[in-house]
């Protein structure tokens, strides 16, 4: 049995006893290693500054056959790691195209083995389902994303819609969903997508909070949603103030109109007599008594008195004398 199968067997057997999760080969024919070491770094989220950076957490020596094994115990849960080697004494290589580094997702219960390849770390086998899903996500994104997507609003919306549908329907692992959201954030598209589909992100945040993922990993999303909701409430409040102001002005205008209408009515009513009141007024001016008026108009005496009271009120007089003086030049015509 060759060394590859022995190592793989040892990794699988030892996974439950100690954390020998990462091993493999580094064969670099076209460049000279500055030191025969492999570096493993973990993506760290800075909760205070909402920044992310890679922190070296382990190293391993490369033997003469190019083999290495990282025996350090990995932290609990799924995390993003980067494995790399130094290209020279001064610079850590961060160019994935050169093959000197590789990003992957791994948990403390998974195993990862890098096969022999002319490009270091380019060919590996990972038991992590999350990493497999992440690689599919990166392939999908590379197929739908081009720089042209940012030149028009329609293209940008189409790209966001495709990524959101893929995240919703194809991504089953919450860690990978979060990575896809971080990619949108890195492209400065997350704020726009939250505004277009806030319910999707609110549901995702609830799911994240109920998961084992540390809060610092999705703090950026929580902050953006908090700001979005605050701005949305502020917009609704401002809009409500305008609506209330408009309604208040409308009510005031209506009240003013009713007041003017009532004023005009009150202004007209004292001098406007009904036909029967005009008849009674003319009979009073002719010197007829109440009984005579009642007899002539075929109405009761009490009705005559009621009409006379209304006539006095409308014409602003108190008795027959004042009424006669008011119309001393009148011949019985209505006012």
Sketch the domain layout of the chain as residue ranges: 3-127, 135-228, 233-266, 272-326
pLDDT block averages, 10 residues each, the chain of length 335 = 52 45 79 75 70 87 91 88 75 47 91 90 92 90 66 72 82 89 85 89 92 87 91 78 81 83 57 86 91 91 91 90 80 45
Residue 15: the pLDDT is 43
The vertex-147 CA angle with 145 and 152, nearest 5°, equals 100
At which residue do the structure tokens 């004023």 appear? 263
Residue 152: the pLDDT is 66
Residue 20: the pLDDT is 52
Alpha carbon distance 218, 205 (integer Å): 8
Residue 24: the pLDDT is 94
3-127, CATH topology level = Immunoglobulin-like (2.60.40)
Residue 209: the pLDDT is 92
Domain 272-326 bears CATH identifier 3.10.20.520: no
Residue 139: the pLDDT is 87
Residue 4: the pLDDT is 52
């Amino acid at each position: 049995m060759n060394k590859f199968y022995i190592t793989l067997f040892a990794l699988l057997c030892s996974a439950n006893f100690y954390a020998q999760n990462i091993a493999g080969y580094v064969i670099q024919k076209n460049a000279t290693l500055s030191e025969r070491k492999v570096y493993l770094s973990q993506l760290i989220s800075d909760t205070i500054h909402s920044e992310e950076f890679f922190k070296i957490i382990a190293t391993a020596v490369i033997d003469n056959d190019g083999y290495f094994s990282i025996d350090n115990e990995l932290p609990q849960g799924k995390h993003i790691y980067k494995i790399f080697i130094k290209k020279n004494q001064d610079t850590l290589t961060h160019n994935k195209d050169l093959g000197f580094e590789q990003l992957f997702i791994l948990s403390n219960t998974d195993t990862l083995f890098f096969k022999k390849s002319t490009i270091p770390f380019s060919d590996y086998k990972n038991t992590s389902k999350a990493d497999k899903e992440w690689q599919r996500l990166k392939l999908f994104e590379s197929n739908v994303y081009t720089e042209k997507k940012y030149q028009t609003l329609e293209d940008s919306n189409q790209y966001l819609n495709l990524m959101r549908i893929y995240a919703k329907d194809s991504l089953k692992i919450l860690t990978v969903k979060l990575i896809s959201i971080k990619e949108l954030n890195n492209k400065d598209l997350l704020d726009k997508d939250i505004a277009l589909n806030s319910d999707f992100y609110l549901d995702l945040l609830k799911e994240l909070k109920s998961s084992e993922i540390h809060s610092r990993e999705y703090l950026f999303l929580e902050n953006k949603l908090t700001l979005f909701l605050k701005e949305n409430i502020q917009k609704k409040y401002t809009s409500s103030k305008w609506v209330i102001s408009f309604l208040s002005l409308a009510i005031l205008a209506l009240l003013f109109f009713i007041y003017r209408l009532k004023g005009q009515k009150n202004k007209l009513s004292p001098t406007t007599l009904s036909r029967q009141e005009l008849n009674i007024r003319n009979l009073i001016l002719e010197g007829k008594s109440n009984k005579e008026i009642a007899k002539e108009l075929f109405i009761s005496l009490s009705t005559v008195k009621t009409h006379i009271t209304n006539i006095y009120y409308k014409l602003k007089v108190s008795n027959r004398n004042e009424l006669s003086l008011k119309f001393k030049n009148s011949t019985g015509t209505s006012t």
